[in-house]
Chains A and B, each alone.
Chain A
C-alpha cells in the first residue's frame, strides 16, 4: 500500500486493541446511504513512482523549451544550486508552522533573518514572515491601510493604472466584498509614468492610501519622491509595490520623499524562486514600526529563554485569526515558509554586491534588447521614461499576431499590451542576467523575420 506501512498483523492487532471486527466498522457513525461506494469508479488505478515520474517527465518535456522574454511580474534569474538543495532538506521541507518554538528554532531563526533582510532591502522598520504572493500581498496592504490610517475615514484607495493589471484585478477581487473601492489614477501616455499632475483632481479628498509601483508595469521608473510627498500632504498613507532585485540599485521605499513609504509589498519570486508556472512564490510585506500591530500574517520575535539564552518565537499573535477569530487582521494563517527560506539563502549567497550585479545586468540587458529591437523598421519605445528591466515597445503590426508568430519560432517575445491597455500594437519585454548577447540577437532576428 503506497505510503501506508501496516502489515496484515498490524491491522489485526490494532483492530483487536480497538475492539472492532473490521476497518469498515470504524465508520459506523456515518449514515450508510452517504457512503461513496462505487461512485469513485471514474478515478484511475494507482501507479508506481516510476510510472508517474515517467508520465510527468514526458509532460514536462512537452512544455517545450522556448527562449522567453516574458516578465510581467515573474522573472527568470539564475538560482544558485545551494538554494534549493538546502531549502528542500527534510528539516525545512516537512516541518510545520513553528508552534512549538523550542523544537522549531531553525525555521524561526531563518524567518527572523528573513525579516531583517526584507527590512534592510526596503529601508523599513519591520517585516512579517511573508504572505502568499505580491498581488494578494497588495490586497492585504490595502486592507491594512484602512486600519492604519487613523486620520482617514475613507474606504477608498488610489491605485495607478500603470500598476500590474494582474495585481489590480486580484486586489479588487479580494477587497471588494468589504466595500473597499480602488480608484484608478491615470498615467501619462507619453512618459509611461504616473504623474502628480494626474492626481490633482483628488487633492484634498479623503483616501486611505496611494499605491505607488516602482518600477511600474511598463518597467518605467516613477518619480517616487514627488508621489510620496503628495500622498502624505493629502493625508494618505503610501503603499509601495516594489521589485526586490531592483532595490539593490534603487532608493528603498523607506527613503522615498520626506517621510518614506508606510507599507511596502512586492513579489519575492525574483529572490531565488523558480518561475514554476506562477507559484509557489511569496509576497513580502514591511512597514514602519508605528503600524506593526495592523500588519497581517506571522511575525517572529527574538527573546530569551528561562536561562537567559537567545531564542525566537511567534509573536504579536493577538492580531491573528486563531486568537482573534472574526476580529483578526486577516484570515491568513500560513506564510510561504519554504519559498521564504529559499529567498533568505539566495539573498545571503548574493550579498549586496551580487544582488546589485544581478540588477545591473537586468537593466543593461533590457536597454540593449530595446536598442536592438528598435533598430528594426517601425519598432520604437512606447514611452519616454527611464526603465529598470522591462520596456514597452510599439510595433508596426498587431502585437498579438506578432507574438503568436514568434511563439511558432519558440521565442516568447514578451506580453501584449492590447487587452489591458488597448495598445494593440504594443508589447512589454524583459531581459535579465540569464540572457546572453546571442539570445538578444536571436530575438531581434526572429522579430525582423516576422515583421518582414
Chain B
C-alpha cells in the first residue's frame, strides 16, 4: 500500500506538462473572434505535472482502496458481487465508445440491438410488461417509478391521491423520492418478525393513497410473506404498488415482481447485473411496468420494426413524439449506456439457468454465513426467519455489556482485511450489521470472515481497546468527522 498523501496540486511546477497529451497551442489570432471581455483573465489553477507523475499519483492512490477485486466486501443491500472483466472489455469496444448519443439510427443498429434485447431480457426476468433503460441510477429509477404512478392517477383525473406509503425499514431514497415527486410520506410500521404490520397498513390505506413503495425481500433481510395481502390492500384502495429492486438479487429467477402484483419496479444493474460500483457510481436503474403504466415509461427506448408492423428487422428509438404520455427524458441523452452494455454482457453469459442460479446461490451463501456466525455467538435480528440474500446481526448486547459497538467491530474488520458490512441500517435494529456475501464468494472467503469475527468478539472481551480504537493497519486511523463538518475544507488552497 502506498503512503502517497501529497495532493496532485502539490506536485505541480509552473511550466511542467504532459505535452504528448494535448494538441499544440493555437495562436492568439485564431482566438480573435472571442470578445476580450469574455476571456478568462488568469489561467485556471490546474496542476502542471508530467505524465509519469499523474500515472504514479493515481496508481498509488488506488492502492489505498478496498475493492471487490481485493477483498471480501459484504456490504448489505449493495450486492458487491464480482464485476466480470469481460463485460468491461465488451462495453469499451471502439464502436460503442465512439458512438455519439445523437447519431442517427442508421448508424446505431448494433447498439440498439443490444438495448432492445436487454429490455426484453429484463421484462422476462421480472415479469413486467414493458421496460425502459433510461434512469441513470437506482434513485432515478425510483423517481421514474413514482412519477409514472403520479402520471397514471392524473391521467384518470384522480387528483386526491397525495400520499405514498413506505415501510419504516425502507431505504432513505424511498421517502426522498416520494417528496421529489410531490407526495407526502406516511411510514408504515414493521413487526417484530420483519414483516410489515398488515393491520396498520390497512388502516393507512385510503382514497389519499397514491401507492406503496417496498422492497422484497425487505431491508430486514427476509421475504415479506404477506405480499399478496399487501398488494390487495393497496390495490383495493386504488393505489399502485412500487417495487424497489435493491434486493432483486435474492429472488432473481425464483420469484418475479410482476407475479407478486407489483405495478412498477426499478432494478439496480450495478447490484443485480454485476456492473461495477466505481467508487460510488455510475449505476443504472431501469424501470419495468405492468400494462397500465406502459404509456408513461421514460424515453428514449429501443424499438424494433416488427412491432409496428414492419418487416425490415431494423431498430429505432421510441421517443416522446411517438409516446407523448411518457414522463419524458431524465437525462440529456439516454442514460448510462456503457453500464447497460455491461449488464447486457452479463445477462447473455448467464442466460436463463444463470439467472436462476443468482437467486439460489446468493441465498445459499447468506444462510450459510448466518448459521456460521450464529454458531460463534452472533445474535441474528430475526433468528426464526430464513435469510434472503442478506441478513441482520445485532450487537446491542455487546454494546451494552462491553461498550463495543457495531461501528467498532466494523473498523476492526478492516484490520483483518475484510470490508465491513453495512452498519446501522435498517435504523430500526439497534447496533446492527447488514451482511450480504453474494453468490460469487467462495466458502473459504466466508469462512475467513467468520474467523475474523470470532477473533474480534474475543478481543472485545479480553482487550476491548483493540476493537474500540481500530483500525490500526489502514492509511489513516479513525477520522475526526466533527471537525470535517464544522471546519469545512472541501477544496484545497495553497
Q: Are B333 and A60 in contact (CB under 8 A)?
A: no
Q: How far is the CA of A28 from the CA of B254 in the complex (A)?
A: 11
Q: Are B80 and A96 in contact (CB under 8 A)?
A: yes
A90 and B136 contact, Cβ closer than 8 Å, known pairs A76-B100, A100-B410: no
Q: How far, in Å, is B216 (CB) from chain A's closest CB?
A: 10
A70 and B254 contact, Cβ closer than 8 Å, known pairs A29-B386, A100-B66, A325-B172: no
B139 contact from A305, A331, A358, A415, Cβ within 8 A: A331
For window 43-81 of B, CB contacts with A under 8 Å fall at 43-49, 51, 54-55, 57-59, 61-70, 73, 75, 78, 80-81
Q: Which residues of chain B come closer than 8 Å to A318, judged between CB atoms?
A: 485
For window 261-277 of B, CB contacts with A under 8 Å fall at 274, 276-277
Q: Which residues of chain A come closer than 8 Å to B350, judged between CB atoms?
A: 2-3, 46
Q: Which residues of chain B come closer than 8 Å to A4, judged between CB atoms?
A: 357, 361, 439-440
Output the residue of A46, A135, A279 with the most chain B CB within 10 A. A279
Q: How far is the CA of A19 from the CA of B467 in the complex (A)?
A: 32
Q: Are B176 and A328 in contact (CB under 8 A)?
A: yes
Q: Are B64 and A323 in contact (CB under 8 A)?
A: no
Q: How far is the CA of A250 from the CA of B43 in the complex (A)?
A: 10
Q: Are B45 and A120 in contact (CB under 8 A)?
A: yes
Instruction: Confirm or deny: B458 has a beta carbon within 8 angstroms of a beta carbon on chain A.
Output: no
Q: Are A351 and B481 in contact (CB under 8 A)?
A: no
A105 and B65 contact, Cβ closer than 8 Å, known pairs A45-B352, A52-B90: yes
Closest to B142 in A: A331
Kindly supply a per-residue 1/0 record for chain A positions 288-330, scoring 1 wherever the CB is within 8 Å of any chain B CB and 0 otherwise: 0100100000111111111101111101111011111111101
Q: Are B228 and A31 in contact (CB under 8 A)?
A: yes
For window 135-184 of A, CB contacts with B under 8 Å fall at 135-136, 164, 166-167, 169-170, 172-174, 177-179
A249 and B328 contact, Cβ closer than 8 Å, known pairs A113-B7, A133-B136: no
Q: How far is the CA of A92 from the CA of B281 in the complex (A)?
A: 10
For window 254-312 of A, CB contacts with B under 8 Å fall at 255, 267, 274-280, 282, 289, 292, 298-307, 309-312
Q: How many residues of chain A get a CB closer than 8 Å to chain B's CBs?
A: 201
Instruction: Confirm or deny: A452 has a beta carbon within 8 angstroms of a beta carbon on chain B.
Output: no
Stretch of B103-111, B199-207, B232-240, B397-405 that contacts chain A: B103-111
Output the residue of A68, A112, A315 with the most chain B CB within 10 A. A315
Q: Are B276 and A307 in contact (CB under 8 A)?
A: no
Q: How far, in Å, is A121 (CB) from chain B's closest CB?
A: 5
CB < 8 Å A-B pair total: 688
Q: Are A74 and B439 in contact (CB under 8 A)?
A: no
Instruction: Confirm or deny: A355 has a beta carbon within 8 angstroms of a beta carbon on chain B.
Output: yes
B440 contact from A3, A55, A250, A412, Cβ within 8 A: A3
Q: How far is the CA of A332 from the CA of B280 in the complex (A)?
A: 11
Q: How far is the CA of A60 from the CA of B90 in the complex (A)?
A: 9
Q: Which residues of chain B come closer than 8 Å to A102, judged between CB atoms?
A: 411, 414, 471, 474-479
A412 contact from B55, B100, B345, Cβ within 8 A: B100
A276 contact from B99, B348, B371, Cβ within 8 A: B99
What are 8 A-B contacts defined by CB distance under 8 Å? A3-B274, A70-B103, A96-B277, A103-B420, A174-B330, A315-B488, A325-B176, A364-B26
Supplied contacts A277-B96, A277-B99, 5 more A-B pairs, CB within 8 Å = A80-B51, A106-B62, A276-B337, A352-B48, A360-B30
